[in-house]
Amino acid sequence: MRIENQKVNLPILEEKRVALFIKREDKIHPLISGNKYRKLKYNIQKAMLGKHDTLLTFGGAYSNHIAAAACAAQEYGLQSVGVIRGEELAFKWKDNPTLALAAEMGMQLKFVPRGDYRKIKNGEFLARLNDEFGRFYPLPEGGSNTLAVKGCEEILTGEDADFDIICSSVGTGGTVAGIINASGIDQHVLGFPALKGDFLKEDIRKFAVKGNWDLQTDYHFGGYAKVTPELIRFMNDFKRETKIPLDPVYTGKMMFGLLDMVQKGQFKPGTKILAIHTGGLQGIKGMNAKLKIKNLPLIDL
């Protein structure tokens, strides 16, 4: 699959003499986050080789992974089950764009109390899920496993070898691990976590085979799926100026952080940066519904 690197033209980049390109993985699929497609590819292959007919996975109400798993399962003729955090959603999932989309793609949704969700995720309830849904191919929350990382190793191509720095948003860390594995030793990978937490480095080290990387932890905006009016304004400005849409959970935060670092002179003049647009645009609708209730500025569509 050929994904274009699009040059970003902004006055601040010119002023600081930093070249920024965005790899448009968001264009892989209108509904699936680009990186989720990469993460699912080899898992679906393995599920089908193992004669599985059902994919079962876990996620929250706005999860890009849930949407992607539902969509990919349907594309490959597999059944899918989504174990969703939050019992209360059983009565209002139709109002949630991500869950409504997943259901439309044929995903069977099972809602579990938040307390139980953690235990289920940790494997304690897998046997019980087997009783309920029969044999299935399990995927962890967020979809990160060895095969997912292998899929993400295909994000970078030979043509990306002359970038000095490669940036990616980080959730569970599988995507950035794949990028690290595929990067050159003279390249530096910079991850922007979309959530608070020190556990991420450990998680990345489980999958990453090199040490040429760092996390920039100053741009989580209060935590996972948390946004501020400043972030929304930035995303809308960025879209107006570059025509590139960003998502509020991952890529918006990464791009805010990256341009803030450029502004602060943290990159030498002449630096060539490649930022991965991992997608996530399906999440904008759900976020806007939440912002509207709080009377906050909305993300431009």
Compute and round to an integer the Cα radius of gyration of the chain: 19
Minimum distance from residue 237 beta carbon to ligand PLP (Å): 20
Task: Let me know how long the chain is.
Answer: 301
Dig out the tokens for 131 from the structure. 């009783």
Q: Which is nearer to ligand PLP, 187 or 245 (CB)?
A: 245
- What are the residues whose beta carbons fall under 8 Å from the beta carbon of 26, sequence distance 6 or more? 33, 34, 245, 251, 277, 278, 279, 280, 281
Q: Which is nearer to ligand PLP, 216 or 251 (CB)?
A: 251
Minimum distance from residue 179 beta carbon to ligand PLP (Å): 10
Minimum distance from residue 39 beta carbon to ligand PLP (Å): 6
Minimum distance from residue 270 beta carbon to ligand PLP (Å): 28
CA distance 199 to 142: 15
Minimum distance from residue 253 beta carbon to ligand PLP (Å): 10
Minimum distance from residue 221 beta carbon to ligand PLP (Å): 14
The answer to whether the beta carbons of residues 285 and 97 sit under 8 Å apart is: yes
CA nearest to 279, candidates 45, 46, 29, 83: 29
Residue nearest to ligand PLP (CB): 280
Minimum distance from residue 277 beta carbon to ligand PLP (Å): 8
Q: Which is nearer to ligand PLP, 35 or 288 (CB)?
A: 35
Q: β-strands 19-23, 272-276: how paired?
A: parallel
- Helix (H) or strand (E) run with residue 114 in it: helix 114-121
CA distance 296 to 27: 28
CA distance 193 to 281: 18
Which DSSP state fits 50? T
Q: Which is nearer to ligand PLP, 168 or 187 (CB)?
A: 168
> With 0-12 CB in 10 A as exposed, 13-18 as middle and 19+ as buried, what is 284?
buried
Please report, as a single letter, which amino acid is at residue 282: Q
Integer CA distances (angstroms), 270 to 115, 186, 265, 277, in order = 50, 15, 12, 22
Q: Which is nearer to ligand PLP, 16 or 176 (CB)?
A: 176
**What does the binding site for ligand PLP look like in residue numbers (CB under 6 A)?**
33, 35-36, 64-65, 142, 144, 169-176, 247, 250-251, 278-280
Q: Which is nearer to ligand PLP, 37 or 117 (CB)?
A: 37
Q: Which is nearer to ligand PLP, 109 or 195 (CB)?
A: 195
Minimum distance from residue 252 beta carbon to ligand PLP (Å): 10
Dig out the tokens for 215 from the structure. 């996390």
